[in-house]
């Protein structure tokens, strides 16, 4: 019986990926509510996105903080291969992109949706595929909001960029500088898509690389944002 249960869990785990509450689905209603919070600009706590000259930071829209059940669910999706979370997470990013699209439509009728190449996954190919899945959901939502949106895999990570996991935050920042290369210029102003915003180093690096080839980056959409010490997300 135990073996049967284990086999069934592999196909459709019975526990919420966020808080381990037992249920027949990938996320319980409490964790889903945390994931589908208010769509807001949440870049203020990312030190790398706030320019030293006091200029405006790159807008980053998200509906969740990277904490509690949301954090556990994203870790399960990325590190433990909980692929059944895909639908929950792409829905969240699509909802965020739709809200951002209402503002972006006033700037450009066409948007290139650009996934950030990531290495913080079980393996390289999987990270690219899943981040691209988030970008596809974002593009579909923008199209639903009346924009001409195309997913464009413009960015690649340089082969020399160091493995980031296990490094301190300041080392991660250094490792990410100039880690991104543009392999193909985007067709329109860009909206970047990533899973989690922490320091902002990856987004900043992508923005710089795109700006160097003349592309305009309008902002980014992410699943969740790591709360800075000064921010106090409303949760238990
Ligand atoms: Zn839960």
Distance 29 CA to ligand 1 centre (A): 7
Q: What is the pLDDT of residues 121-130, one digit of tens each?
A: 445 556 677 8
Kindly state whether residue 142 falls inside one of the protein's structural domains. Answer: yes
With a cut of 80, say whether residue 25 has pLDDT above it.
Answer: no
With a cut of 50, say whether residue 226 has pLDDT above it.
Answer: yes
Name the residue range of residue 136's domain.
37-225
Distance 79 CA to ligand 1 centre (A): 18
For tokens 């909980």, what's the residue?
Answer: 82
Distance 235 CA to ligand 1 centre (A): 13
Distance 215 CA to ligand 1 centre (A): 40
Kindly state whether residue 31 falls inside one of the protein's structural domains. Answer: no
Distance 182 CA to ligand 1 centre (A): 38
Kindly state whether residue 4 falls inside one of the protein's structural domains. Answer: no
Kindly state whether residue 126 falls inside one of the protein's structural domains. Answer: yes
Kindly state whether residue 232 falls inside one of the protein's structural domains. Answer: no
Kindly state whether residue 212 falls inside one of the protein's structural domains. Answer: yes
Distance 212 CA to ligand 1 centre (A): 42
pLDDT at 227: 92
Looking from the CA of 178 toward its CB, the CA atoms found within 13 Å total: 1
Q: What is the pLDDT of residues 170-219, one digit of tens each?
A: 555 555 567 889 999 999 999 999 999 999 999 999 999 999 999 999 99
Residues with CB under 5 A from ligand 1 (ion): 16, 18-19, 21, 28, 31, 69
Q: What is the pLDDT of residues 58-95, one digit of tens each?
A: 999 999 999 999 999 999 888 877 778 999 999 999 99
Task: State the Cα–Cα distance between residues 50 and 177, nearest whole angstrom.
Answer: 16
Kindly state whether residue 73 falls inside one of the protein's structural domains. Answer: yes
How is 24-70 classified by DSSP, letter by letter? SSSS-HHHHHHHT---EE-GGG-GGGS-TTS-PPPPEEES-BSSHHH
Kindly state whether residue 10 falls inside one of the protein's structural domains. Answer: no
With a cut of 60, say whether residue 161 has pLDDT above it.
Answer: no
Q: Which pair of tokens denotes residue 217? A: 């980056």
CATH code at position 45: 3.40.50
Which pairing describes strands 148-151 and 110-115: parallel, antiparallel, or unpaired?
Answer: parallel
Number of domains observed in the structure of the chain:
1
**What is the residue-averaged pLDDT of the chain?**
84
């Amino acid at each position: 019986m135990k073996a049967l249960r284990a086999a069934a869990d592999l196909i459709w785990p019975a526990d919420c990926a966020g808080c381990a509450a037992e249920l027949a689905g990938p996320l319980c209603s409490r964790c889903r509510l945390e994931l589908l919070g208010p769509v807001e600009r949440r870049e203020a706590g990312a030190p790398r996105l706030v320019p030293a000259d006091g200029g405006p930071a790159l807008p980053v829209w998200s509906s969740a903080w990277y904490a509690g059940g949301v954090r556990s669910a994203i870790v399960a999706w990325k590190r433990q291969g909980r692929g059944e979370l895909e639908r929950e997470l792409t829905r969240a990013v699509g909802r965020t992109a739709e809200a951002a699209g209402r503002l972006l439509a006033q700037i450009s009728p066409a948007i290139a949706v650009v996934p950030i190449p990531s290495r913080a996954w079980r393996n390289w190919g999987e990270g690219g595929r899943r981040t691209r899945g988030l970008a596809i959901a974002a593009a579909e939502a923008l199209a639903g909001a009346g924009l001409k949106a195309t997913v464009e895999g413009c960015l690649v990570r340089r082969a020399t960029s160091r493995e980031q996991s296990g490094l301190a935050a300041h080392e991660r920042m250094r490792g990410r500088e100039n880690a991104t290369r543009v392999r193909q210029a985007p067709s329109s102003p860009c909206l970047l898509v990533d899973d989690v915003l922490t320091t902002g180093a990856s987004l900043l690096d992508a923005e710089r690389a795109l700006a160097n080839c003349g592309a305009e980056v309008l902002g980014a959409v992410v699943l969740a944002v790591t709360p800075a010490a000064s921010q106090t997300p409303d949760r238990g």
